Amino acid sequence: MKGRQRMATRQVQVQRVSVTSPRSFHEVVAALETTIGRPDMKAFAASIAAVRTEAELEAVIHEAIGSSGLMEFMRLDLGEALRKELGAAAPQTVRLLIGNPLVMKQMVKVVPDAGSYAPVTILIEERPDGVHLSYDRMASFLASYGSSEALAIAQDLDSKVEALLAAAAL
């Protein structure tokens, strides 16, 4: 019917991977930063907008990603609000939005809803027992969509992110 909206609900079961590191918060963040590309996002967006071909797009993205094949899109310092209340004793907490636009493009072509889950989040937080690095597996987000192609792409991404977390925690 004209003018009516259709709203659907999908249940998504999520698998969370967590690694606990004995390293300091700053050491863990620095370890991640060594392998994740950290482009100037304004310049990156302008470069993406200027490309005319897929080959040019790939070149711009390969320039932006780090040795992990991933780049940082955004960093949210969640601990900042805690420090306003608790001062310097507040635990550090940072959320990194990371990914690879080429991987995201592959997933979205097959399962458009994949765009809701990409880029992915790495949560890094200080706790009494160490620094926790957490990640929600992309494959778990996409499993209910029934696409083996998207699932394979997501599993490859999960492997990269989980290796990144393990290496940063060491």
Is 84 a domain residue?
A: yes
Residue 3 has what pLDDT? 72
Answer whether residue 40 is part of any domain.
yes
pTM value?
0.91
Residue 119 lies in a domain: yes
Q: What is the CATH number of the domain that holds 117?
A: 3.30.310.70
Q: For 36-50, what is each residue's pLDDT tens digit? A: 999 999 999 999 999
User: How high is the pLDDT of residue 1?
Assistant: 54
4 domain residue, yes or no? no
Count structural domains, the chain. Answer: 1
Q: What is the mean pLDDT of residues 20-39?
A: 97
Given strand 16-21, what is the order of strands in its sheet? 16-21, 130-136, 120-127, 93-99, 71-77
Domain annotation covers residue 6:
no
5 in a structural domain: no
pLDDT the model gives residue 4: 82
- In a domain, residue 99? The reply is yes
